[in-house]
Amino acid sequence: MTRILGIETSCDETSAAVLSGSGDDVRTESLVILSQDVHRVFGGVVPEIASRQHLTAIVPVVQRALDDAGATLADIDAVAVTNTPGLVGALLVGVSFAKSLAFGRGIPAVGVHHMEGHLFATALEHSDAVPPFTGLLVSGGHTLLLDVEAWGRYRLLGRTRDDAAGEAFDKVAKLLGLPYPGGPHVESLARSGNPDRFRFARPMLRRNQQPGDDDYYDVSFSGLKTAVLHAVRAATPDDFADIARGFHDALIETLVEKTWRAAKEFGRTRIVLGGGVAGNRTLVAAMQTRMGRAGATVYAPSARLATDNAAMIARAGLFHLERGDRAPLDLNAFASHPIPGLVTT
Ligand code: KG4
Ligand code: ZN
C-alpha cells in the first residue's frame, strides 16, 4: 500500500489530498480545496494574482490535508503534482513545492497531466468507472473525447476546434450578465427557460456524418456563442432564461451525440465523464437517458470531484508511480502538452 500526497495549482484552486492504496483499490483519506474567490471581481482568472494566492495558500492547504488524514510528512511515500496544462506561474508554485518536498524527504515525485487527472476523478467515487470506457472530458480549457482501452492508453477521437465547453458556458454567462464561473449559473437559469423559443444550430452535427469524417467526433462552440450573442442583442432580460435554455440544449445534445458515436464505434458499455462541466446534472441526465437506451452506463463525478481537485491528481499519480514513472528534479511546468499515453493504432 502506498500513501500519496497530491498537489494541484494549475488554475484558481489550491488543492492537496492524501490517498492510499494500490491499483484500482484506492481510498481518499483527505481532500482540501481552496478556491480563489478574488477572480470573481475580474470576471475571469488573473494569472499573477492566482500565482501569488497559491504561494500564500500552499503550505496551510497541504498541512490541512495531512492533518485531516491523520498523517505527517513522515507517513507520505510519494508526491504527485500537476505540471501541465495550465497557467505556468500557477503550476510552478505546486511543482516547486512538490519537488522540494520530495527532495527533502527522499521520496519520489510524479508529474501529472491535469486532464489525465480529470479522467481518473470519477474512479474515486465509482469503482466501475475504470477502463475500458469512452471518456468525455469537459473543462474550462479543454474538451476531449477519448477511447480508453486501459489506464495510460488513450485514443483521442475528438476535441474542440475553438472554445472548450466550460469556456462556452463562461462566455455565455457573461453575455447574460451572470457571475464567473458561469457554468452552474447558466445551468440553473436554463432550467426555468422555455425550450421552444430559441433553437440554435447544433454545432458540428450533420445528419450524414460518417466515422471517417474529420468532424465526426470534433466539436466547436464559438459559432453557438456568436448565435447567443446575436440573440441577446435582439432580446430583453426577460428572454434570458429562454436563451440560456436554447444554448444549454444545443451544447448538451452535441456532447451526448458525439459521445454516443464513440461508444458505439468502439463497443463500450461504460461512459466516464470528467472536468468541471461534468458537474452539470442536466448533461449527466441527458447522457444517462441516451446511453441507457443502448445498455451503456454513465459515470460522472460529484461536483466536488468534477472541478479541479488534488485527489484526482494523486490518483493518476499513483497509477504512474506503480508503472515506475518518476519525475526528475528538473521537472518543469508547461502551459500546454498533449495528454500522455496517446495511441494511434
Ligand atoms: O475542470 P475545471 O474545474 O477547470 C479546468 O480545468 O478548466 O472546469 C471549470 C469549468 C468552468 O468553465 C465552469 O464554468 C464549468 O467548468 N462548470 C460548469 C458547471 N460547473 C462548472 N459548466 C456547466 N455546468 C456546470 N454545472
Ligand atoms: Zn480542470
Q: What is the pLDDT along the chain (345 residues), one digit of tens a residue?
A: 999 999 999 999 999 999 999 999 999 999 999 999 999 899 889 999 999 999 999 999 999 999 999 999 999 999 999 999 999 999 999 999 999 999 999 999 999 999 999 999 999 999 999 999 999 999 999 999 999 999 999 999 999 999 999 999 999 999 999 999 999 999 999 999 999 999 999 988 888 899 989 899 999 999 999 999 999 999 999 999 999 999 999 999 999 999 999 999 999 999 999 999 999 999 999 999 999 999 999 999 999 999 999 999 999 999 999 999 999 999 999 999 999 999 997
CATH of domain 2-119+306-322: 3.30.420.40
Which atom of ligand 1 is nearest to 173's Cα? 14
In angstroms, what is the span from residue 295 Cα to ligand 1's centroid? 28
- DSSP-H helix ranges across 176-221: 183-191
Question: Cα–Cα distance between 260 and 294 in angstroms, integer?
Answer: 9
In angstroms, what is the span from residue 300 Cα to ligand 2's centroid? 14
In angstroms, what is the span from residue 302 Cα to ligand 2's centroid? 14
DSSP string, 3-70: EEEEEE-SSSEEEEEEEEEETTEEEEEEEEEEE-GGGGGGTS--HHHHHHHHHHHHHHHHHHHHHHTT
DSSP β-ladder status, 109-113 and 78-84: parallel
* Phi–psi pair at 42, nearest 5 degrees: -95, -5
Specify the amino acid at residue 92: L
The predicted structure's pLDDT at residue 207 = 80
Retrieve residue 166's grid coordinates. 466550460
The predicted structure's pLDDT at residue 203 = 85
**SS3 readout for 246-280:** HHHHHHHHHHHHHHHHHHHHHCCCEEEEECHHHHC
Return the CATH number of 131-300, one of 3.40.190.80, 3.90.1150.10, 3.30.420.40, 3.40.50.970.
3.30.420.40
- DSSP-H helix ranges across the chain: 47-68, 88-105, 114-121, 165-175, 183-191, 222-233, 240-266, 281-293, 303-306, 310-322
Q: Are 277 and 183 contacting, i.e. CB atoms less than 8 angstroms apart?
A: yes
Question: Cα–Cα distance between 64 and 182 in angstroms, integer?
Answer: 29
The predicted structure's pLDDT at residue 206 = 83
Which atom of ligand 1 is nearest to 275's Cα? 1
Which atom of ligand 1 is nearest to 181's Cα? 14
Probe ligand 1: pick from 307, 313, 339, max atoms within 8 Å of CB? Answer: 307
The ranges of the chain annotated as CATH 3.30.420.40 are 2-119+306-322, 131-300
In angstroms, what is the span from residue 139 Cα to ligand 2's centroid? 6
> Which protein residue has the closest C-alpha to ligand 1 atom 22?
183
The predicted structure's pLDDT at residue 84 = 98
Closest ligand to residue 188's CA: 1
> Which protein residue has the closest C-alpha to ligand 1 atom 7?
140
Q: Can you state the angle between helices 114-121 and 310-322, rounded to 10 degrees?
A: 100
Question: Cα–Cα distance between 275 and 105 in angstroms, integer?
Answer: 32
> Which protein residue has the closest C-alpha to ligand 1 atom 21?
276
In angstroms, what is the span from residue 12 Cα to ligand 2's centroid? 10
Which atom of ligand 1 is nearest to 141's Cα? 7
The predicted structure's pLDDT at residue 100 = 98
Which atom of ligand 1 is nearest to 280's Cα? 26
Residue recorded with cell 527533502: 104
The predicted structure's pLDDT at residue 324 = 98
Question: Cα–Cα distance between 220 and 98 in angstroms, integer?
Answer: 36
Question: CB within 6 Å of ligand 1 — which residues?
Answer: 11, 139-141, 166, 169-170, 181-184, 187, 275-277, 279-280, 307-308
Retrieve residue 196's grid coordinates. 421552444
Length of the chain: 345
Q: How many CB atoms within 10 Å of residue 254?
A: 20
The predicted structure's pLDDT at residue 306 = 98
In angstroms, what is the span from residue 141 Cα to ligand 2's centroid? 7
Residue recorded with cell 474567490: 37
